[in-house]
Structure formats: C-alpha cells, structure tokens
Structure 1
Amino acid sequence: MSESKKIAFLVAAEGIERVELTEPWKAVTDAGHQPVLLSPQPGEVQTFDHLTASEKRPVDQTVGDASVDDFAALVLPGGVANPDALRTDETAVSFVKDFVASGKPVAAICHAPWTLIEADAVRDRTVTSWPSLKTDLRNAGATWVDEELVTDGNLIFSRKPDDLPVFNKALVEAIG
C-alpha cells in the first residue's frame, strides 16, 4: 500500500448529493488515504438523496484555513445546490483555482463543474457533467462530451451517481 495522503473534499453547507460524497470518501479511505471535509463555514453540512435531506456530516476544516500544499487531491461532489453555493464563495473558488493550477488531481462529478467554471479551470479542456451543465461548460470554453469518465490533464469528471465506480477508480489511481 502506498503512503497515506490527505484528500480534500470541498462542499457547501447543504445540497450535497450524499453518494457523491460518501462513495468517493469510502474509496479514498479504502485505499489507505485520509479524507478531509472542507467547507466555507465550520459546523455541519447537510447531504441529500436527490431532493430529500439525508445525513449531516461534520466539517473538518474551513476552506479558508486550508492550504493546497496539505492535500494530494481535491474532490468536488455534486448535487445542484452544493456547487451553486460554492461558486459564489470567493475563498472556495480561489482554493479550487489554486488546486487546479498545482497540477494535483481534481475530481468533479455531476453538477460540481460549476465551481470549476467559476475558477476559470475548464477553458480548452474536455469535460463531462450532468447534461444540464453542457451549455455552461461550452460557454466557459470547454468541450463537453457525454461519457461516464473523462480525464483531461489533472481533471477527472463523471456525469452522475451511476458513474461512481469508474470515477472512484480513476480518483484512487490518480492519487497513486
């Protein structure tokens, strides 16, 4: 087994699609790494099963107190409200922008690429997402494709919860 690495999971206070947080979290943990839940505010975050509130999870660290240098990879779970809130938080967007620039793996699923759009991180990249983001991503300069997994440089994308097995495998492989 490789050396344990800290993996950042960045989410807003609510609207996180539960399985898009918990399944990559489990994959990272099972690979011997340490997931860390980052959010703009301390306390707890609310996950959802589609539109139904699910479990609450404690925030480990605020994104404002986090450093890209402390993490080997960044995971951006989806849900509609989660990335929509993150993309309006300047500290979160700055962290994402710096993480992409670091060259370390950044994995985004479903609606999560909205935060990458705000960080100007998808221009000239091939991406996938939940289909409703296609126009937003194209307008941001990306090439959008409908595939279960797309990797472009250090960016890893999947469309939806059904894609989690390949998404998680690509994430763990990218961490090393």
Structure 2
Amino acid sequence: MGERDAGVGSHGATVAVGVRCDRTALLVDSPQTVSRAVQVGPEGFAMATTVAGMSKQQLARALGATGAAFGLISVVAPRMVAGTYGVPVTPAGLQLQRLFGSHALAISVLTLSAQTEEETNRGLAVVAGMNAIDALTALAAAAQAGRATTLRAVASSLAYGAAALVVRSMRG
C-alpha cells in the first residue's frame, strides 16, 4: 500500500491513508493492532471498519450481549449487582434493581436483533442515550447515594455509553 499521508490522529492512533483504488487505509492502534479503515469524503478522513479484528456488527453484538448479561443478572441476582455498586440491599431496592435489569435486557435486544446497519446504529444510539441519562441521574442523586456508588454508576455508564458511540461511528 502506498502512503499519501501518515500521522497521529486525534484519538492517538497512527493513521496511514492508502492511495489504492478501494481507498482503504490502516489505523495503527498499537504496536500489535492494525485496524482496517475506509476513506470517507474528499478530505480523506479514515473511519475504522474493524477494531481488534472485530467488525462493527460483531462489536455491536458483543456490547448487546454484555448489556443483556448485566440485565439478566440484575433480574435474577439483584443483590449481587446492588452490592457491586454499593447500594444498600432492601426489598424496595432489589425490586428497582430488577426493573433496571429488565430495561437493560430489553434495550440490549435492539442491538442483538439488528439486521441492518441502520438498525444497529439505532440500537447503539439508544444504548448511548440511556447511559448518558443514567450518568446524569447518578450525578443528580450523588448527595444521597454517596461518593463510591456515584463514581461506580457514572464511570460504568459513561464507559458503556462511550463504547456504544465508538462502535456506532465505525464504518459498517
């Protein structure tokens, strides 16, 4: 592959844009990982088509499976999840954890059942939006919930939501 331009992208990866007729590029994620990318638009911005050898659809399904597992655990073993987040275990709290879990499980089905890139993007947008709302509500309740619980809730929500946005930004 001939190189037209190479440098460090804003995300810290080395980017090399090829001049082949299919306009493929490589994103060098680390010394061990090189991800395929495609040129988008006349400016030549590269969008990853794989990360760690996984396609957008595979990563979306992995996020969906992770969310479904979290939701299922929240429904069948709410004490475990509540304990992980440092939430006091009460009958009402366990019921709320089950409700939270059923919602996470249902939303994960959007991503797992997606057949087209549009459906995948829609599911990932819902996951990102839900996690942004979760992070905001955790911050709003910080005074009552305590520092440790708030930090765990905000960190996990932001990480999962950001992962959904990164996968959503990939070229199908």
TM norm. shorter chain > 0.5: no
Instruction: Indicate the structure with greater helix content.
Output: 2
Instruction: Indicate the structure with greater strand content.
Output: 1
TM-score range, shorter chain: under 0.3
TM-score with structure 2 setting the length: 0.25
Larger Rg: 2
TM-score with structure 1 setting the length: 0.25
Higher relative contact order (CA 8 A, sep 6+): 1
